[in-house]
Amino acid sequence: MCVLVCGGAGYIGSHACVALAERGHRVVIADNFSNSSPRVLLRLQRIIGAPVECERLDLRSKSAVARLFARHRFDAVMHFAALKAVGESFAQPLAYFENNICGAINLLRAMHEAGVARLVFSSSATVYGDPQSVPINEQARLDVTNPYGRTKLVMEQLIDDLCGTDASFRAANLRYFNPVGAHPSGLIGEDPSGIPNNLMPYICQVAAGRRSKLSIFGDDYPTPDGTGIRDYIHVMDLVRAHVAALDYLMRGEGNLTVNLGTGRGISVLELVHAFERASGCSIPYEIVARRRGDVAQVYADPSLAHRLLGWRTRLDVHAMCRDAWRWQSINPDGYQRPLGKLKSLPLDAIETKA
Ligand code: NAD
Ligand code: UFG
């Protein structure tokens, strides 16, 4: 199959390209590189063993999306392209609505006109807002607390409406919990611009000496050690679920909305200590005030994904930290360093299968 991967140059999309290629699919990336680097393409070529096609385009341009679909014959689409910073979404809600909703509508329109009827969509556990109880299953109340979350919820609803009105259209809404880690080669990984918002990339940058210490946002939550609990999921497990979801859609089994998490909650302090063990680095930290909008505990009930897709996570928190650290230590400046200058591990020396 030929799969269009919108946002395929980004953190999760790039890992999905590897998983799709391993499944034998041809991949075409569409990305405007607003939050990624074209350098990821050479890294992907190194991992996959063949060049990856890529079209530089902005999904907000209806005509550019139409031209993309005129040039290729896609069998399915994976849609990762979105702005994703919760804080920024409060400052620039219209930019988030335009990018994440208008961009996705342009994509859906082009798919409809080209008769491409299989979509895997990146949603988020943010659609559960402040959950009433954990673990969270897919029946939990939906309640967004920020404009970014609203874009995800609106897109899920639009996609559900399309599935309801067009019997040939099949879609998977995948609600990610907290993706972390990197491809085991250390060639691709998460490369946030500026100060990382998220915990794992921040820890990595402290370990690499780019930041002096981690600020832990509150130790007075009603959790065993007082720090926030989340469901961290290895990005390689996450993208394996995407391939399974695509297989499910291609078999014509229906539409689906599922949580993608491990089902295990880990506190900030537990993650810090797991990272220290996996990397051998010490992570200095200080406890500071809670971050606005944070909640005490968010973790998934992932049993529906297991039932429908036969998928469950395989990689534990040690693997998450080990692989995040491998990526960070080989690429202290992310994608800024050209491939030839990497102190890279030989690819055949390690297990690289998704
Ligand atoms: P990312 O920013 O690394 O990747 C997104 C990619 O989309 C980038 O390469 C960016 O350049 C591209 N893009 C954005 N807007 C575009 C546009 N208008 N046209 C073309 N390309 C565009 O983010 P990620 O972490 O890989 O996240 C992928 C998806 O998963 C997003 O939809 C995000 O909301 C969702 N998600 C991520 C997380 C997380 O913690 N990383 C959690 C839940 C959901
Ligand atoms: N944290 C710190 N210090 C930091 C960063 C985070 O203590 O420097 C803590 C947070 O308070 C929270 C935990 O680490 O307890 C995880 O925080 P992240 O920012 O890594 O992740 P969140 O769960 O807050 O948010 C992530 C994504 C959102 C998404 C949400 C639910 O960033 O986009 O998961 O899927 F909506």
Q: Is 30's pLDDT higher than 80?
A: yes
Active-site residue flag, 299: no
Domains observed in the chain = 2-353 (3.40.50.720)
Residue nearest to atom 30 of ligand 2 (CA): 126
Q: Is 292's pLDDT higher than 90?
A: no
Q: From the alpha carbon of 290, which atom of ligand 2 is closest?
A: 11
pLDDT tens profile 214-239: 999 999 999 999 999 999 999 999 99
For residue 194, the Cα-to-chain-centroid distance in whole angstroms is: 18
What local confidence, expressed as pLDDT, does residue 327 receive? 97
Q: Is 345's pLDDT higher than 60?
A: no
- State in Å: Cα 207 to ligand 1 middle: 25
The answer to whether the beta carbons of residues 244 and 302 sit under 8 Å apart is no
What local confidence, expressed as pLDDT, does residue 342 receive? 62
Share of the chain above pLDDT 70, in %: 96
Phi and psi at 173, nearest 5°, equal -95, 115
The answer to whether the beta carbons of residues 182 and 323 sit under 8 Å apart is yes
What local confidence, expressed as pLDDT, does residue 348 receive? 43
- Scanning the chain, the segments in alpha helix (DSSP H) are 11-22, 40-48, 62-71, 86-91, 93-96, 103-114, 147-165, 199-207, 235-250, 268-279, 303-309, 317-330
Q: Is the CB of 29 under 6 A from ligand 1?
A: no
Q: From the alpha carbon of 217, which atom of ligand 2 is closest?
A: 7
Share of the chain above pLDDT 90, in %: 93
Residue nearest to atom 28 of ligand 1 (CA): 80
For residue 256, the Cα-to-chain-centroid distance in whole angstroms is: 18
Q: Show the tokens assigned to 149.
A: 């979350």
Q: From the alpha carbon of 152, which atom of ligand 2 is closest?
A: 36
Q: Is the CB of 217 under 6 A from ligand 1?
A: no
Q: Is 349's pLDDT higher than 90?
A: no
Q: How far apart are CA 136 and CA 140, in angstroms?
A: 6
- Give residue ranges with CB within 6 A of ligand 2: 84, 86, 124-126, 176-178, 197-199, 202, 214-217, 228, 230, 268, 291, 294, 298
> Would you place residue 352 in the very low, low, confident or very high pLDDT band (cuts 50, 70, 90)?
very low
- Other beta carbons within 10 Å of 340: 7
Q: From the alpha carbon of 123, which atom of ligand 1 is closest?
A: 44
What local confidence, expressed as pLDDT, does residue 343 receive? 55
> Would you place residue 338 in the very low, low, confident or very high pLDDT band (cuts 50, 70, 90)?
confident
Q: Which ligand is nearest to the CA of 151?
A: 1
- H/E stretch holding 260: strand 256-260
> Would you place residue 267 in the very low, low, confident or very high pLDDT band (cuts 50, 70, 90)?
very high
Q: Which ligand is nearest to the CA of 203?
A: 2
Q: Which ligand is nearest to the CA of 11?
A: 1
Q: Is the CB of 36 under 6 A from ligand 1?
A: yes
Q: What is the mean pLDDT of residues 310-317?
A: 98
Q: The pTM is what?
A: 0.96
pLDDT tens profile 163-209: 999 999 999 999 999 999 999 999 999 999 999 999 999 999 999 99
> Would you place residue 344 in the very low, low, confident or very high pLDDT band (cuts 50, 70, 90)?
low
What local confidence, expressed as pLDDT, does residue 250 receive? 96
Q: Is the CB of 268 under 6 A from ligand 1?
A: no
List the catalytic residue out of 11, 128, 148, 176: 148
